[in-house]
Structure 1
Amino acid sequence: MVSSGLLRILVVSILLENVQGFSLTNLFSPKRCPRIREKCQFKERDECSKNKTCPDKKKCCVFNCGKKCLDLQQDICSLPKNPGPCMAFFRRWWYDKKNDTCSTFIYGGCQGNNNNFQTKDLCQNMCSKKRF
């Protein structure tokens, strides 16, 4: 009768998915890295080489012209503009979700967050609803 117990668990998880958004598939196959073809001006420094090198439950993904540690549950396009604490002077683009626009900012060259793109096109391809 083990199979009937598994069937009950499956039925309950399907019902929970419809009510709460929970799914057993989320446990066994977490979200995947974004697949966006990018035309980069230059290759970014890699933050990671594999998932083990990322903190918390982040995944090592090819993203935004280099390998980055991404929290796949997080909406990158909702993150605030963050120039980071370093003092370099890189012109970058960030997505302003409130206004559905990509705007320039000066990135200091370290830390910050992943709402940080080399070009306006990369920003729009990743985040814009309008898809200019």
Structure 2
Amino acid sequence: MESNAKGGKVIRWSYDKMMGKCKPTVQGEQRGTRNSFTSEKQCLMTCSSDYDNIYPPGDAVCDLPVESGPCLALIPMWSYNKERKLCESFLYSGCQGNGNRFENKDNCTSLCINPKKGRTGGADVSGEQASETDAGLVIGIICGVVFGAAFLVTLSLYLVQRKKLKKQHKPVPTVEMT
């Protein structure tokens, strides 16, 4: 069993037969059971009949959709987007998901963007992407600029109208009429 240098607790994976999934567990220095694995992938390979669907062999993982999983961790990972034909970063929840999940961009690129298999796309093998800018970010910036300009125009018109109204008012006489 793995433990850190100070003999502390480590995360291991165990198979839950009722749920049919591997779940993360925290274990101390005690020796683990046979249902204790160092990774979710190792747990699924040993215990689950769904392993080949979740982690298909070879570059077939590149055809799977990205799945973040239901847990609460936010682990930066990479996946292949077959519509855009490039590797993109995403936040993995720490459990479940599928095999279209890579620890770094180079691993994703070397498996999924392979000219010999027809996956040249718009990205080159050197690792440079044609563009990784999120379309939502671009739309958000454009909308922000348009909103800001509209606000400034409205404010300017309001101030001009206010100034005109001040000039039209006649001053009130200071002498009291009786």
TM value normalised by structure 2 = 0.38
2:79 aligns with one of 78, 90, 94:
94
1:47 counterpart = 2:32? no
Report the equivalent of 1:16. none
The equivalent residue for 1:82 is 67
Q: CA RMSD in A?
A: 3.0
Does 2:61 align with 1:58? no
Alpha-carbon distance between aligned partners in 2 of 1:120 and 1:74, rounded to the nearest angstrom: 15
Q: Does the alignment pair 1:124 with 2:109? A: yes
Larger Rg: 2
Structure 2 counterpart of 1:94, one-letter code: S
CA deviation digits over 1:22-75, x for unaligned, max 9? xxxxxxxxxxxxxxxxxxxxxx7253379653315739xxxxxxxxx7333982
What is the identity, as a one-letter code, of the residue corresponding to 2:95?
C
CA distance in 2, matches of 1:124, 1:51: 24
Q: In 1, are the aligned partners of 2:59 and 2:112 still within 8 Å (CA)? A: no
Question: CA–CA distance in 2 between the matches of 1:85 and 1:109?
Answer: 8
Q: Give the match's secondary structure for 2:78.
A: strand
Counterpart of 1:55 in structure 2: which amino acid? S
1:114 corresponds to: 99
- Cα separation, partners in 2 of 1:109 and 1:57, compared to 1, 3 Å: closer
Amino acid at match of 1:108: S
Match of residue 103 from structure 1? 88
Measured after TM superposition, the shift of residue 116 of structure 1 is: 0.4
Q: Give unmatched runs, 5+ long, in structure 1.
A: 1-43, 60-68
**Is 1:102–1:120's contact at 8 Å kept on the other side of the alignment?**
yes
Q: Which secondary structure does the structure 2 equivalent of 1:106 belong to?
A: strand
Residue type matched to 1:116 in 2?
R
Offset, 1:87 = 0.5
Higher relative contact order (CA 8 A, sep 6+): 1
Aligned residue pair count: 80
TM-score normalized by the length of structure 1:
0.50
CA distance in 1, matches of 2:45, 2:77: 26
